[in-house]
């Protein structure tokens, strides 16, 4: 399953961690600026900014991601990192410029990705999929279908396309002339993330060669509304045998468990406590109190907020989080940049 990692989330954690490593030998009394009669030091700056809500949240995430990498980093291979890197890079027409915009090099971005993947690995390592979880996943599962999709940003155009199709118009020709998609042919099942949920739901109701009515989808990050028309090419029925899709259903169930807010908070608490995390700066003595006391406090608003930020793409990272469909490829760069303030 595809998971996007948004730049700002990683920047707040990965780059801060790298920066901390590179500057660990520097004195907190180093001067940042001087003036007649005095100077501004690193310590002055630290004392000024450290208790802002943004920075305490960033520190909280830094601790969480760093500890998860320490505990579960060995579960993430270089190939895992490269695969995730390539997957994200493929979503951009000019990925190098995006890295530069958000202050990354390929090396630092991969380091941040590894932390995110280690966090995902830690969540999964603490999750247990039950038969009931699999049954729940089965209820909403639809197997893979083949379909053609047109996406436009104007409702009038979308309605005109449907009228033309109903009067014998050629789907591929109309797609080539109007669609924002870079491709018209899609293969997806109910777990796929490269097609909006509303489009998948409508598509699964279609018979072969049937064309949908206009499906409107509003991107939650950019608030742009897209209008889709789907033609079903080859649909399928899941039948009655769950075992045929056991691996996929297990992944669906695992994703559902690890996306649960209470589960995330309790897992973070367990990992931090097992790692014997202790706050040494009195000003931050309570920053992890919801995690370092008991898991029963994990459902507080503060804990929920911080564990939500400690996701990928989000959640997968990644995680998100709403993801821009690859059927909206012409808007990928702008929508991802605008949505980069949200955690995955």
Residues 173 and 222 in one domain: yes
330 contact partners, CB below 8 Å, separation of at least 6? 180, 181, 182
Query: Is residue 140 one of the residues assigned to a domain?
Result: no
Q: Are residues 67 and 175 in the same domain?
A: no
Q: Hey, which bits of the chain come out as E strands? A: 31-35, 38-41, 145-152, 185-188, 215-218, 225-234
- Interior/surface letters 14-50, b for 16+ CB within 10 angstroms, e for the rest: bbbbbeeeeeeeeeeeeeeeeeeeeeebeebeeeeee
What lies within 8 Å, CB to CB, of 211 at 6+ separation is 162, 165, 166, 171, 229, 230, 231, 232
Check residue 49 and give its pLDDT: 87
Q: Which residues contact 17 (CB under 8 A, 6 or more apart)?
A: 62, 65, 66, 111, 112, 115
Q: What's 170's domain CATH number?
A: 3.10.50.40
List, in order, residues 6 or more apart from 291 with CB less than 8 Å away.
Answer: 265, 268, 269, 272, 273, 277, 298, 303
Whether residues 12 and 111 share a domain: the answer is: yes
Residue 344 lies in a domain: no
Are 122 and 255 contained in the same domain? yes
Q: Which two tokens stand for residue 270?
A: 């367990």
Report the pLDDT value the prediction gives residue 47, as an integer from 0 to 100: 87
Of 182, 199, 234, the residue at which a domain comes to its end is 234
pLDDT at 107: 94
Could you list the mean pLDDT of each consecutive 10-residue stretch along the chain, which spans 344 residues?
Answer: 46 46 52 93 88 86 95 97 93 88 92 95 97 96 97 96 95 95 93 93 96 94 92 94 94 96 95 94 89 52 47 41 38 35 34
Rounded Cα distance, 146 and 231, in Å: 9
Q: What domain range is 188 assigned to?
A: 145-234
Helix axes 78-89, 106-125, angle to 10 degrees: 110
C-alpha–C-alpha distance, residues 61 and 223, integer Å: 28
Boundary of a domain, candidates 211, 234, 257: 234
Q: What is the secondary structure of 273-301 as a DSSP string?
A: HHTT----SGGGTTTTHHHHS-GGGTTSH
pTM given for the model? 0.70
100 in any annotated domain:
yes
Number of domains in the chain: 2
Same-domain pairing of 115 and 207: no
pLDDT at 254: 97
Q: In this structure, what token pair is assigned to residue 156?
A: 């009038």
* Domain membership flag for residue 200: yes
Pair (11, 124) in one structural domain: yes
The DSSP element (H or E) to which 182 belongs, if any, is none
Q: What is the pLDDT of residue 29?
A: 57
């Amino acid at each position: 399953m595809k998971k996007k990692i948004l730049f700002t989330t990683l920047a707040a954690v990965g780059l801060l961690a790298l920066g901390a490593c590179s500057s660990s030998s520097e004195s907190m009394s180093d001067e940042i600026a001087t003036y007649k009669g005095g100077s501004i030091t690193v310590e002055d700056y630290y004392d000024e900014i450290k208790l802002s809500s943004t920075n305490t949240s960033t520190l909280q995430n830094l601790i969480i991601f760093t500890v998860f990498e320490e505990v579960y980093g060995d579960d993430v291979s270089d190939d895992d990192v490269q695969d995730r890197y390539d997957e994200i890079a493929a979503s951009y027409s000019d990925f190098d410029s995006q890295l530069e915009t958000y202050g990354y090099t390929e090396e630092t971005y991969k380091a941040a990705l590894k932390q995110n993947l280690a966090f995902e690995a830690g969540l999964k390592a603490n999750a247990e999929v039950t038969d009931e979880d699999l049954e729940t996943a089965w209820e909403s599962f639809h197997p893979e279908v083949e379909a053609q999709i047109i996406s436009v940003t104007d409702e009038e155009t979308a309605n005109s396309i449907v009228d033309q199709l109903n009067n014998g118009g050629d789907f591929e020709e109309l797609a080539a002339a109007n669609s924002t998609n870079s491709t018209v042919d899609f293969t997806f099942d109910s777990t796929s993330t490269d097609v909006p949920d509303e489009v998948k739901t409508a598509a699964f109701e279609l018979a072969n060669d049937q064309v949908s009515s206009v499906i409107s989808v509003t991107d939650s990050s950019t608030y742009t509304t897209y209008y889709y028309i789907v033609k079903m090419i080859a649909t399928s029925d899941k039948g009655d045998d769950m075992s045929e899709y056991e691996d996929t259903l297990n992944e669906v169930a695992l994703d559902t468990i690890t996306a649960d807010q209470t589960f995330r908070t309790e897992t973070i608490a367990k990992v931090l406590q097992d790692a014997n995390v202790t706050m040494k700066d009195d000003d931050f003595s309570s920053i992890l109190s919801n995690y370092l006391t008991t898991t029963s406090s994990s459902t507080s608003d503060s804990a929920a907020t911080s564990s939500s930020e400690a996701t990928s793409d989000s959640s997968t990272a990644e995680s998100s989080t709403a993801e821009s469909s690859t059927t909206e490829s012409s808007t990928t760069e702008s929508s991802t940049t605008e949505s980069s303030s949200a955690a995955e």
